[in-house]
Structure 1
Amino acid sequence: MMAIVFRSQATHLRAGEITATRVNCNSLTFIITITVYTNTKNTTVLFGGDQDVLNFGDGSKSVFVPETPNTLRPDLDPDGSVATASFTISHTYSGFGTYVISYREPNRNEGVLNMDASVNTTFYLETVVTVDPFLGCNNTPKLLVPPIDHACPGVAWTHNPGAFDPDGDSLSYSMEVPFSDRKTQVINYKNPNDPKFYNNFGNANENGNGPPTFSINPISGTITWDSPGAVGEYNIAFHIIEWRKKGTEWFPMGYVRRDMQILVDDCKNQRPDLIVPKDTCVVAGTVLKATIYGTDPDKDPVKIEAFSEIFNFPPALSPAKYTPVPGVNDFVPSVPPAETKFEWQTECIHVKDQPYQVVFKVTDKPKEGPRLVTFKTWLVKVVGPAPDWTNATLNLSNRTTDLEWAPYFCQNAEKMQVWRKVDGNPFVPDNCQTGMPDYLGYELIDVVDIKDANNVPITKYRDTNNGKGLAPGAKYCYRLVAVFPLPKGGESYVSLDTCVGPIKANVPIITHVTVEKTDMTTGQNRISWRSPFEVDKTQFPPPYRYDVYRTVGFASGRGTDSVKISPVGFSDTTIVDTPINTEENVYNYGVTCYASNGGLVGSSAHASSVRLDAKSQVKKIELNWSAFVPWSNQIQTVPNKHLIYRGPEGATEADLVLIDSVDVLNSGFIYLDQGQWDGKGLNDNDVYCYRVMTRGGYGNPKIAQPLLNFSQIMCAQPGDTIPPCKLEPPIRSTVEYKDCDDYFQQFCDRNTFSNTLIWNRPEDSDCRNDVRSYNIYYTNKRGGEYTLLANTKDTTYTDTKNLRSFARCYKIAAVDRSGNEGELSEEMCIDNCPYYELPNVFTPNGDKYNETFSAFSTRNIPCGEEGGCPIPDELKLKCARFVEQVEFKVFNRWGQEVYTYDSSIGDNTASIYIDWNGKDAGGKELATGVYYYVAKVKFLTVDPQDQIQNFKGWVHLIR
């Protein structure tokens, strides 16, 4: 009884977190560490004990954390009331998945103001880890700054956890409510800036001119409380969330929940301040130097500390340094300002897509009262240098370009992007502008390896324009960007331009595909071209005759979908194509030329009409346009702006008026109409019609520019905020594999899967007209958290994204023209038909037949003389399918365990068939006889309760 009473008054847990480090990428073992900060004032209770439970989140047995001695932390509280302790253990997970690691211990320290009865409130921590072979190896973020800080009433307080991700993943931060157990908030939690903690709430910020605020910066992780009120202790919690980029998508990898404590003391101290450099980027291989200054308005001594992963790199990875590095009581005068010198010899291995976060902390030392701190964050991004060109040669015979560059400086880069543009651009990137900006108009034509299989640098590339040759008449310019491997990622600065051409104009040069009239049945396009003005006129004498070919779509074609437009008169270099559907279709054209002697001169490159699209937004309409042309519509010569024309509903080309222009060199092919040109704004009930005029050129002084081409007319209505209707009836699938007897032949050894979804458009006409697309969401378990999978305008969708089986649940929501999303549909789940069966006899006698005790499968089927390896129907029916993991134990007739197997451990990883050879755990052959087994099988299913099944049986081992 006394022990229980003592424990209930164990006012000792202030703050903490859990971190997990994967032993290596070929193992499912993690090193899990719980770090806590304890109260040592008026209590001797230690961290850990017989009620203190660590749960690994995978259904395995929890462990009790043993009592662990404290280590006092005078740097966090000079009076000795703060200590720290930790516990570390390894744990091996049975398979892939997302696991919530949690720790629960009674109790928090007494007297926390912003929750009820903290002394009787359980202290709870959790961390989420993801083990996914698609996303790669993963470790949780690490936190460098302790979670205990002091504050004074009326003085703004800041804190930064100094978090970084060892894998190079991106981090974000969110404020959370402290927990007392899983999914259980502490009782009556209040934010630290709640009015109950203030006498003058309306003017309680540091400047005395507004209410107090409390927030976390979701990017930097800096927490700001401006400013504290009542004296006492406050607890807060926040998540450090890690994100991994795979291709163009970001995936959440888990989070660390930190529970921390703020000690607000009765003091009149003013907080110290820091002067840090502006955020910067540095080229790998150069030295970055900076000076950080610390000041104090009370002229108290200060010390400056720095926290970042870059200080913790091993010597081989060239860590950053700062001097002086202060000890617990190393304070220096703040007048003149205290100085800290920073220096970092950066290397290629430091290149990363996200900047490094360097957290500086300045602490003052007043004559009396608590010490105050200020945090400031400096972002440093290490980027790869721009690649260097050595040569670019134009091959006139086949209109190709041979490109050469110097071996890239950073040989740890993975790929080299090759970009191309007609007419080039004098662009020079800013200090922190990496990669190729979208708005410059360069086209990514290929991505090549930095090194070949023999580790030799790759430095050459031939541009054939996908075998079609480069467009005659055009000048081409190229740039390079080096790409570094994920998960750290990163792109180099873009190289300078290297240019070739203009290419000889010895075939027709198409110059215009402009929409003259927008209509579904009587539309008109005007096509114009230049004659082959650099052709050998002796071989191909004028006058010339032309054939013009048309294809629907942006891409060129000369097959059954190509239409010849005729006739074209001798020496004519323009034609109007009508009647066609210019309202709904984009068309592309090519011109073929014949000399007067009948000889084929050649064909032009193909060019499409300009296609305009309009997207409704609230009180706005966004315009986007594009064209597939051999010239550039982002030229350097003036004028280079595209023109925007607008008119009312039903307007023709002649009715539209010029309202604005777009500098496409800086903003790309996009325009947002908010009615700004006349100041009247857009009316929600009106329809507006638009047309865009592009300006382009070949970069060839012999071809006049700008080349002017109009888009079709596109009409739209400003958007609203009302979401569209919910989808009814529910979505369905083309196939649901529930009757395994009907479909068993399809699943043996299958490794690719897809689910096809079908749904109906809303029956109500208003709902139907309001829907523009559908968002499809998925989860891998019934009732799980849904993630956006895709957006489509169709009413069918085939899901092949990272499917390991058919098991997946879906919901769909309609999206209207304003981007509003409707209510999610009812959940529709597709499940597997899992199966697992073991035989009852095997003969490990060396005759190469039935040598192992294995689950039924279609592996190693013997082929007959005629080949074909026919699979017996019995095996098709019994083959193991949709099995994720197997644990297997064998016992002799006296109940002694003689053999054990786990498909997630060692060399057997991912083998779910067991393949026991009849030997015991020590490798000794077991005698003939009957043995008993227990198999725990984990299936891939959408229902978690159906995942684990236990099999018990016997097997006769015969030698």
Structure 2
Amino acid sequence: MKAPLLTRSIVRGIFLVFCFILSGVTAFATHLRAGNIIVKRIGTCDAKKYSITVIVYTNTLNTNVLFGGDQDYLDFGDKSPRILIPEIGPGHPNYSVIDAQRGIARAFYTVEWTYGGPGRYTISYVEPNRNEGVLNMDNSVNTTFYIETQIVIDPFLGCSTPADLTIPPIDRACSGKAFFHNPGAFDPDGNDSLSYEMVVPYRDRNATVLNYRAPNDPKFYVDFNTGNETDDGPPVFNINSLDGTITWDAPGFAGEYNIAFIVREWRKVLGKWVAMGYVRRDMQIIVEDDCNNQRPDLEVPEDVCIEAGKTLKETIIGTDPDIPPDKVKLEAFSQIFEFIPSESPATVSPDPAIFQNSPGKLEFEWHTTCEHIREQPYQVVFKVSDSRSNGVSLVTYKTWRIKVVGPAPKWNDATLDISKRQATIKWDPYFCVNAEKMQIWRKVDSTSFRPDTCQTGMPDYLGYTNIATIAAKTASGTQVTQYIDNNGGKGLAPGAMYCYRLVATFPLPDGGESYVSKDTCVGPIPADVPIITNVSVEKTGTTDGQIRVSWKRPFDANKTLYPPPYTYEVYRAIGYTRGTDSTLVATLSDTTFLDPGLNTEESIYNYSIAAYSPGSSLPIKFVGASDVASAVRLDTKSQVGQIQLNWTAVVPWSNQIQDHPRHLIYRGPEGSTESELVLIDSIDATIDGLQYTDKGQYNNTPLNEGTTYCYRVKTRGGYGNPAKIPEPLENFSQIICVQPGDSIPPCKPILTVDLLDCDQFKSQQNSCFGSTYSNVLNWSNDAATECQSDISSYRIYRSATPGGESVFIAEVPAVQTTYSDTNLPSFARCYTIVAVDRSGNESEPSEPVCNDNCPYYELPNVFTPNGDGKNDVFSAFNIRDYLESCSNPEECVIPQNLIEKCARFVEKVKFKVFNRWGQEVYSYESGSENSIFIDWDGKNSSGVELSPAVYYYVAEVTFITLDPGSSTQTFKGWVHLVDGQQ
């Protein structure tokens, strides 16, 4: 039970007086209450330019100290000198009083800054001092106020724009009543997610304030065990990590409390979330007493998806439970209200907010456009406040999420060219002209799938393959509305009906995608070659495995040109797909073949069938060959209490068909043969995909750790041509055995990288004009085979510097032991790799391996700036003139001595020229539109031509290398400026 109100007030008063006596200064003195730094990118990521705004809330009671001035430093985080923020106070346009009664004013300072290169930069502001009387830290009036925001500029991750926070970091609470607050944060980039975490306020970088206590510390309560609003439990204080709502249930002693929290930005890169920048906000909560009030409530719509081009209208209702009810004021905060008029911002009415009789209404309306499409939903934070003339008003926050998605593309036509075995598919001009790409998906056989609301893109489980992603527009801006599918030049598979769907995608940073289109189909393709129908593992073994291969005769072949009966050749290769290593394993007249003596336990096999006609005379005629089809490969992932199965086959038919969707799951004890396995379950492959998790559902018998279970799967598929190729086509996987709950990780792999040979690289004709590069990785396993037998995949990580933050870039199957990291801006990268077993256990990372660039820079010692077009400027050695004269630069023949001297892997150049008396006559720095080649025209910095003479230079060149600390080199030399007319 809580203490009586009078008693609690007396206790709090004694507590506050005691705090003030300890501080030894006048209450309510200087001066900073709360704040944060908001950073916005200006222009493109490559520009590395940002607008930085420091926002603070100051105390105005009993103090004339202003924001900014001596000792008030803004640090850009790039080792450049700190700057002082000028004093900003009454009369300044960046200053405003927001609550005169409580002495609260807002001030801000904005500056633009350009960063020199990639990096993770922590921008910070420090100023003495906080305002007096903050209860949950010691001696606040003599405690420095510190805030920071971090940005990331990375060539792989892109640039970060940390969250913008729309609701001020100062709020009022009522003692004994639960307090709620939301910062109203949003991601300006649109494609990132935000998370929230509570931290301790700072007094300097990495230095917390002294003796910080959380606001729900027992020190601030008469009876801590009944400190919540309902008097039945201790108070809680936390922040929702997903939506940022701060809950304090409930405040104790009246007074001022400061808290801090981080709003962190996360970006999805290659399927994994990577931490980007963050905002560290320092916030003040002013708790007041005597709150005989009940909190108002909000009714907000459910989270929604809306198709771009449609209008969203909703009514938000705020109510007050007091009798009689207080008036209520409803407010909304979101970036969608801040769009300029041409960007169709959302609106609310009434605006500005007013107090209304309860229930109050806020009418929301937003006419969405294609420019609003993005991957992440927009967040609208609603706030309802009640009106109390004799006490503190209470508030409630609720968040509404709105996702704007692209409409589904619409088909126009689809035709089949039988002679070329290719399809031409056409669609209407897309509604959203800002779409960047059009994804083209293909599947054998049709499906009636229609996406649910908010289900954008192509679901993985439907079995479609992304055969192409093309630009939505040509270079001239005309929409692309057709695609020709010839199956990568191989032609569409005979016997099959092909169906297509489209998904439009939108450019970063917002990203986003459309609903998937309906399907459109062509075919079936004439079956004028053998049609392979079965590649089924009949027996699993390392030396005695068997695979049954079956096919249908070429029933659409021209029997005049290719009269039956036909002879068939069966070809086999290892792997899912065919390379150049196929082997003839049988010649026969039948349409089925049992292939014996195989290692079906460890290897994957694929097959094709060639048909021959005897004709009327020798030699026999080649009718044609089937498409390649692999066996079904089953893999497992062992987990505690369950085993996950995944299976794959690369075949010309579909194993996810609507008429026969169910795949069958068989299981048995260790040592079971195919006939001893029992059917335990089935899955709908068009809904669940090609996976199944055994949790002991069969006979309700849990799986036992230490017990080995063996599995086999039967797939069922078809060509979408059941009249001529009966369905379902049934094929078995191999048997695979596993125990649940495996916790033993694989051994650490041994990784190598094909290191760059600089002498060889510098001699190559294309080394001077490469714009993208590749690193080839190779790995092997430790000799200890007992920890290698169940490896299922390898995960590859990359970093830009030795010991730098590693980023996941790829996961490859266990059968693969090499990987090419392509489209890199330079070779300078480090790598590690981990092995992953079927239970998801990861090995220790391999020892890191790094490749580096071969940087080079050389300057000549003579030039003749006489305007004759020959040697007119002083430039680093390069091959620009040769490239400009070639229609195909990679076929240009460039003098070998110039190849070896050309500038390579140069990030920036600072260049100064001095006369013989040591006076600087010219300076130059690359960047923006300035070239790294310098191209000095012989004039001084004022544009006046210099006299022919010998001049001396210093060039500070920063190369792109692994070690930033040693990447800058200084070149000193002389150059003879020659008149050229002599």
Task: Provide the TM-score with structure 1 as the length reference.
Answer: 0.88
Opposite residue 225 of structure 1, the aligned amino acid is W
Find the counterpart in structure 2 of residue 587 from structure 1: 605
Q: Are 1:326 and 2:352 counterparts? A: yes
Q: Which moved more, 1:763-772 or 1:396-405?
A: 763-772
Quickly say closer, same or farther: Cα 1:931–1:261, change in 2 above 3 A. farther
Structure 2 Cα separation of the partners of residues 733 and 697 of structure 1:
43
Q: Percent identity?
A: 57
Find the counterpart in structure 1 of residue 588 from structure 2: 567
Find the counterpart in structure 1 of residue 55 from structure 2: 35
Find the counterpart in structure 2 of residue 274 from structure 1: 298
Give 1:439 shift: 0.7
Q: SS in structure 2 opposite 1:125?
A: strand
Q: Are 1:11 and 2:30 counterparts? A: yes
Q: SS in structure 1 opposite 2:741?
A: coil
Quickly say closer, same or farther: Cα 1:283–1:511, change in 2 above 3 A. same
The answer to whether the 8 Å contact 2:535/2:631 transfers is yes
The answer to whether the 8 Å contact 1:760/1:795 transfers is no
Q: SS in structure 1 opposite 2:805?
A: coil
The answer to whether the 8 Å contact 2:218/2:224 transfers is yes
Give 1:405 shift: 1.7
Find the counterpart in structure 2 of residue 686 from structure 1: 707
The answer to whether the 8 Å contact 1:73/1:80 transfers is no
Give 1:497 shift: 2.0
Quickly say closer, same or farther: Cα 1:827–1:423, change in 2 above 3 A. closer
Q: Are 1:576 and 2:573 counterparts? A: no
Opposite residue 631 of structure 2, the aligned amino acid is S
Structure 2 Cα separation of the partners of residues 492 and 742 of structure 1:
48
Quickly say closer, same or farther: Cα 1:15–1:442, change in 2 above 3 A. same
Among candidates 249, 253, 262, match of residue 285 of structure 2:
262
Find the counterpart in structure 2 of residue 220 from structure 1: 243
Find the counterpart in structure 1 of residue 888 from structure 2: none
Quickly say closer, same or farther: Cα 1:380–1:496, change in 2 above 3 A. same
Quickly say closer, same or farther: Cα 1:109–1:953, change in 2 above 3 A. farther
Find the counterpart in structure 2 of residue 181 from structure 1: 204
Among candidates 282, 292, 313, match of residue 289 of structure 1:
313
Q: Which moved more, 1:175-184 or 1:100-109?
A: 175-184
Among candidates 907, 910, 924, match of residue 887 of structure 1:
910
Structure 2 Cα separation of the partners of residues 518 and 304 of structure 1:
69
Q: Which moved more, 1:548-557 or 1:305-314?
A: 548-557
Structure 2 Cα separation of the partners of residues 84 and 152 of structure 1:
23
The answer to whether the 8 Å contact 1:150/1:373 transfers is no
Structure 1 Cα separation of the partners of residues 635 and 868 of structure 2:
71
Q: Which moved more, 1:286-295 or 1:344-353?
A: 344-353
Find the counterpart in structure 2 of residue 68 from structure 1: 88
Quickly say closer, same or farther: Cα 1:73–1:295, change in 2 above 3 A. farther
Q: Are 1:670 and 2:691 counterparts? A: yes
In structure 1, list runs of 5 or more residues that go unmatched.
none
Find the counterpart in structure 2 of residue 616 from structure 1: 638
Q: SS in structure 1 opposite 2:356?
A: coil
Q: Which moved more, 1:157-166 or 1:639-648?
A: 157-166
Give 1:582 shift: 1.6
Opposite residue 284 of structure 1, the aligned amino acid is A
Structure 2 Cα separation of the partners of residues 193 and 308 of structure 1:
30
Opposite residue 315 of structure 1, the aligned amino acid is P
Structure 2 Cα separation of the partners of residues 861 and 507 of structure 1:
52
Opposite residue 294 of structure 1, the aligned amino acid is G
The answer to whether the 8 Å contact 1:356/1:380 transfers is yes
Opposite residue 591 of structure 2, the aligned amino acid is T
Q: Which moved more, 1:699-708 or 1:420-429?
A: 699-708
Structure 2 Cα separation of the partners of residues 503 and 801 of structure 1:
37
Quickly say closer, same or farther: Cα 1:535–1:803, change in 2 above 3 A. closer
Structure 1 Cα separation of the partners of residues 744 and 131 of structure 2:
49
Q: Which moved more, 1:7-16 or 1:153-162?
A: 7-16
The answer to whether the 8 Å contact 2:630/2:649 transfers is yes
Opposite residue 353 of structure 1, the aligned amino acid is E
Residues 93-113 of structure 1 deviation map (CA, whole Å, 9 limit, x = unaligned): 233433222211112223333
Give 1:195 shift: 4.8
Give 1:521 shift: 1.5
The answer to whether the 8 Å contact 2:797/2:810 transfers is yes
Quickly say closer, same or farther: Cα 1:445–1:293, change in 2 above 3 A. same
Structure 1 Cα separation of the partners of residues 267 and 883 of structure 2:
45
Q: SS in structure 2 opposite 1:644?
A: strand
The answer to whether the 8 Å contact 2:779/2:818 transfers is no
Q: SS in structure 2 opposite 1:104?
A: strand
Find the counterpart in structure 2 of residue 432 from structure 1: 454
Q: How many residues align?
A: 934
The answer to whether the 8 Å contact 1:814/1:821 transfers is yes
Structure 2 Cα separation of the partners of residues 384 and 786 of structure 1:
34
Find the counterpart in structure 1 of residue 9 from structure 2: none
Among candidates 903, 907, 912, match of residue 926 of structure 2:
903
Root-mean-square deviation (CA, aligned residues, Å) is 3.6
Q: Are 1:650 and 2:671 counterparts? A: yes
The answer to whether the 8 Å contact 1:933/1:952 transfers is yes
Among candidates 80, 90, 109, match of residue 102 of structure 2:
80
Among candidates 523, 527, 530, match of residue 549 of structure 2:
527
Quickly say closer, same or farther: Cα 1:293–1:783, change in 2 above 3 A. same
Q: SS in structure 2 opposite 1:146?
A: coil
The answer to whether the 8 Å contact 1:74/1:80 transfers is no
Among candidates 322, 329, 348, match of residue 303 of structure 1:
329
Quickly say closer, same or farther: Cα 1:170–1:882, change in 2 above 3 A. same
Give 1:324 shift: 0.4
Residues 58-94 of structure 1 deviation map (CA, whole Å, 9 limit, x = unaligned): 222211011111577776x562322110111122323
Opposite residue 325 of structure 1, the aligned amino acid is D
Structure 1 Cα separation of the partners of residues 426 and 84 of structure 2:
63
Task: Provide the TM-score with structure 2 as the length reference.
Answer: 0.87
In structure 2, list runs of 5 or more residues that go unmatched.
1-23, 885-891
Opposite residue 926 of structure 2, the aligned amino acid is S
Residues 536-575 of structure 1 deviation map (CA, whole Å, 9 limit, x = unaligned): 6666555444333333222246x5524242233xxx3322
Residues 728-755 of structure 1 deviation map (CA, whole Å, 9 limit, x = unaligned): xx96655487xx8898657766655555
Q: SS in structure 2 opposite 1:368?
A: coil
Find the counterpart in structure 1 of residue 514 from structure 2: 492
Give 1:934 shift: 4.9
Q: SS in structure 1 opposite 2:965?
A: helix
Structure 1 Cα separation of the partners of residues 894 and 417 of structure 2:
53
* Structure-to-structure mapping, 1:399-548, within 5 angstroms: 399-533=421-555, 542-548=564-570
Find the counterpart in structure 2 of residue 718 from structure 1: 740
Structure 2 Cα separation of the partners of residues 596 and 795 of structure 1:
42
Q: SS in structure 2 opposite 1:187?
A: coil
Q: Which moved more, 1:821-830 or 1:396-405?
A: 821-830
Give 1:625 shift: 0.6
Find the counterpart in structure 1 of residue 340 from structure 2: 314
Opposite residue 357 of structure 2, the aligned amino acid is P
Structure 2 Cα separation of the partners of residues 108 and 245 of structure 1:
38
Structure 1 Cα separation of the partners of residues 822 and 135 of structure 2:
48
Structure 1 Cα separation of the partners of residues 690 and 461 of structure 2:
8
Quickly say closer, same or farther: Cα 1:91–1:954, change in 2 above 3 A. farther
Give 1:19 shift: 2.2
Residues 400-420 of structure 1 deviation map (CA, whole Å, 9 limit, x = unaligned): 333222111111112222222
Q: SS in structure 2 opposite 1:566?
A: strand
Structure 1 Cα separation of the partners of residues 788 and 560 of structure 2:
64
Quickly say closer, same or farther: Cα 1:942–1:238, change in 2 above 3 A. farther
Among candidates 799, 807, 826, match of residue 787 of structure 1:
807
The answer to whether the 8 Å contact 2:773/2:822 transfers is no
Quickly say closer, same or farther: Cα 1:648–1:868, change in 2 above 3 A. same
Structure 1 Cα separation of the partners of residues 956 and 282 of structure 2:
37
The answer to whether the 8 Å contact 1:505/1:534 transfers is yes
Give 1:295 shift: 1.2
Quickly say closer, same or farther: Cα 1:555–1:951, change in 2 above 3 A. closer
Give 1:657 shift: 1.0
Give 1:427 shift: 1.0
Find the counterpart in structure 2 of residue 913 from structure 1: 933
Opposite residue 490 of structure 2, the aligned amino acid is K
The answer to whether the 8 Å contact 1:761/1:795 transfers is no
